[in-house]
């Protein structure tokens, strides 16, 4: 029995549900690990995917519930296969054996106690590639602190600067402040980006990459996020400026989101970052806002 699931406060929602007894938390899942996909993934930042791919594990459930979620099929916790923590450790090793550059944990916060155990066990059994923590940044400080020595690369989003937007699209008016504090702890743990070369490619071994997904019509909000991150951390972190927002059927109630980001919007966003002086960053090419970039959550590799 894991005490942290008995009155769960792993995320900032602090629902205090006894997930260990099978009850469902605000994240949409109980304490049993549920994974929807574990496979090589080639659509992350170049320093993460590389030529061999990132060993990506998509966990079911999420505490954010963004109305525009690109992975809605698993975010509600309705899709996925229940597994043991022992099996999770085996999956990490299997992905390493397939040539993965890293283990990429996607939306993992609701399972942190199990993940810590599985990483420690897998490392004893030969896991040597970096652990990437791929998160919305809507994380409690205590949960992130539990990951010190476990996570090598933090890959958080910074979704909103304006709490009104955070409330409207994620029912999380506290998101901006929570994300600031969570990212600060991530940078404390991994203050300097470290890269290594593999087969002619530069891959990340340690560090923090903050993603910012530009939403339609929200260029000014995105600029505020980039400004804050650059003024706060400079070249300590990398920024990933993303244009891949894909309007899926469930955003029809939000007509302002029921469209792709225009190239004009995105170019203005990137130009602003360059004018600020951002050097450590990633940008996206055109035609990445397609449903084909969203993987099938068919329990592959689970």
Q: Is residue 206 part of a domain?
A: yes
Tell me the average pLDDT of the chain.
94
CATH number of the domain where residue 257 is located: 3.20.20.70
The mean pLDDT of 151-164, rounded to a whole number, is 98
Q: Is residue 169 part of a domain?
A: yes
Q: Is residue 298 part of a domain?
A: no
62 CB-near residues (< 8 Å, 6+ apart): 27, 28, 69, 71, 74, 75, 76, 77, 107, 110, 136
The mean pLDDT of 153-159, rounded to a whole number, is 98
Q: Which of 31-40, 170-179, 248-257, 263-272 has the lowest mean pLDDT?
A: 248-257
The mean pLDDT of 224-231, rounded to a whole number, is 98
Q: Is residue 115 part of a domain?
A: yes
Domain span including residue 248: 3-293
Q: Is residue 71 part of a domain?
A: yes
Distances (CA, A) of 193 to 41, 163, 239: 22, 30, 12
Residue 26 has pLDDT above 90, yes or no: yes
Contact 230, 277 (CB under 8 A): yes
Residue 292 has pLDDT above 50, yes or no: no
How many domains does the structure of the chain reveal? 1
The mean pLDDT of 252-281, rounded to a whole number, is 94
Q: Is residue 301 part of a domain?
A: no
Q: Is residue 86 part of a domain?
A: yes
Which is more confident, 198 or 152?
A: 152
What digits encode the pLDDT tens for the residues 91-128? 999 999 999 999 999 999 999 999 999 999 999 999 99
What digits encode the pLDDT tens for the residues 162-203? 999 999 999 999 999 999 999 999 999 999 999 999 888 899
Prediction pTM value? 0.96
Closest by CA position to 31, among listed 65, 63, 73, 3? 3
Q: Is residue 302 part of a domain?
A: no
């Amino acid at each position: 029995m894991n005490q942290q699931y008995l009155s769960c406060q792993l995320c900032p929602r602090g629902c205090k549900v006894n997930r260990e007894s099978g009850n469902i938390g605000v994240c949409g899942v109980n304490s049993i690990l549920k994974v929807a996909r574990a496979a090589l993934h080639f659509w992350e930042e170049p320093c993460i995917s590389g030529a061999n791919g990132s060993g990506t594990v998509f966990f079911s459930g999420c505490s954010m519930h963004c109305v525009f979620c690109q992975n809605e099929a698993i975010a509600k916790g309705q899709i996925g296969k229940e597994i043991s923590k022992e099996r999770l450790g085996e999956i990490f090793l299997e992905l390493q054996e397939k040539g993965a550059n890293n283990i990429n944990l996607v939306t993992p916060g609701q399972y942190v106690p199990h993940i810590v155990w599985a990483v420690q066990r897998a490392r004893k059994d030969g896991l040597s590639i970096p652990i990437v923590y791929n998160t919305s940044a809507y994380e409690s400080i205590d949960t992130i602190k539990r990951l010190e020595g476990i996570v090598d690369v933090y890959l958080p989003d910074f979704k909103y600067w304006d709490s009104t937007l955070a409330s409207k699209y994620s029912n999380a008016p506290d998101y901006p402040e929570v994300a600031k504090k969570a990212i600060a702890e991530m940078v404390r743990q991994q203050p300097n980006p470290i890269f290594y070369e593999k087969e002619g490619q530069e891959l990340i071994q340690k560090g923090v990459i903050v993603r910012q997904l530009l939403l339609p019509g929200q260029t000014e909000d995105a600029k505020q996020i980039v400004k804050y991150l650059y003024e706060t951390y400079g070249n300590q972190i990398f920024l990933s400026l993303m244009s891949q927002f894909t309007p899926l059927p469930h955003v029809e109630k939000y007509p302002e989101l029921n469209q792709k980001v225009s190239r004009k919007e995105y170019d203005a966003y990137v130009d602003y970052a360059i004018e600020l002086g951002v050097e450590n960053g990633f940008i996206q090419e055109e035609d990445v806002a397609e449903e084909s970039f969203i993987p099938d959550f068919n329990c592959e590799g689970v």
